Chains A and B, each alone.
Chain A
């Protein structure tokens, strides 16, 4: 069954390549483990987290700005209606009261303003809050109230305006809605009103966001994800001008889009559905909690064992396999098909070495050399792990399992290459099919990585995940090993079975075929 001479010959023929590849793989492995173990890895994690937080906060701010704008604009529209109605009554009343016409107009205007403002405060806003489903005294209800009244900026009895101080404090030019009421019957009034609302609610929102108690409440939420005040300030969300610019830009975009969409209404679209489209979610508040997806994404990143993933999924499942695969393709070919192709197999078979012995010995060499190769990487990886000081869930037992998995993947793929090597008389056919398949599996795994769940969802490309289903390397599951679950065990068994079946079929085929020697 086993020929020592043949084994020795195979060692001599392929030993040099084996040594070079093994040294190279171990070197790469120690580089990866030692260099990435110096702490840079957690910085990467933080950077990913910060990017997520910054992106999510910005989009939350934009949504909020649109939300404010819609609430403000709706309220002011209602205010206009009320004002016009009250003005008619007040004007007639004043004239009947014997007031001269020029004074009657002014008095009616004053009265209508007061009545409309009162109506807004007492009926419209509470109604809106109910409609949106908030409790009367909740944080959200206060926000709605705030938006409406900061936009209106009501005139007080003494002729001053309630929130002028706020706008002046933030360096804004103050415009008053009373100035717009003179032209209320003008065709351009609605356009003017929208601009007014925009110019009022963006500063309100910015002012609100940079208020100390709100910053504190956001930080409370984010502190779970390791965001400090300094980082938050770096994002720019505590700066009034910055927040206002974000809000303004969002509202301007929204208005332009809305106008365009309303001018080109498609069939089945209503004004409401278009608005709904443009603002994904206008209800809900952001100050009390982060949106669900954001916190989920942050949790995901927070739990990532970057070092384990780097060593397991990136090195042992991909980068570290490349060189062993090259060795395996070349050697599996050289062991059988190459010798049949060149004719040197004749010297072995003419010494009463049975074909069964040839395949058994060559398979033993191929499997053995791969096994020793991964023993070397296992030792290297365990030594490296004991040297580095890094926050990771990796242990030496898990490293052994990772090496075992990489070996089993190579075992299965070497089975395929051995099978093609036994099947074909020509090297090029054996290498083309067996080697081509192996490389395809590796490349598919590389592409599949970008769609696999180990990547945080925001940078994942789901379409690429399909590549994972066409590669047998997927049966090597480093995530399961790192998490300590048992899912990897049955996958290991499949790999072992694939390898064994291929080796057996290859041997049988080689025993039965004609050899051109």
Chain B
């Protein structure tokens, strides 16, 4: 008798909770970057790219539960599709996507740090063109040359120089008065001083100053969020 009751209960449960009612499926969520612009530090709107290392999170719409977190290992510019890892989503439920650039939103020069361990929030970097000094270079981007921030970490300075020049550093020299790049030997030179940047000095042909500029607009990390449901 008990067996029959259990059997009946089993079928009742099957009828009450049909599997189709809860539809969860595995999705790849793609973010295709359209031509877009965002405020740049110089006050204008620039086309932007998401830097390598950007994280895309899929969250519940209350923002508390992260269902998927994907680190993107390429630069995402106009037209690029950034794919998340596989994520289980349920029909009829609302979610949100949060795009977190790792440090900054890169929109070409000047290259600005939104966050760097809490310091130097407003510093942007620019390569001096045509034998320019840093005062003129920063003015070109509607900003002022910094007074005292040039020295950070030599390895970081060299890394930024390498990024801005689009070349690997043949070596990272750390005993310079200011940051510059030797385009003949491809040596990256990092300042070892906090002050005396000598912004008005321009170097000779083949030596490129890599300048730090300040901007009146604070340029913090920008997170993008948008909601969706399936």
Are A and B subunits of one complex? Answer: no
Chain B residues within CB distance 8 Å of chain A: none
Chain A residues within CB distance 8 Å of chain B: none
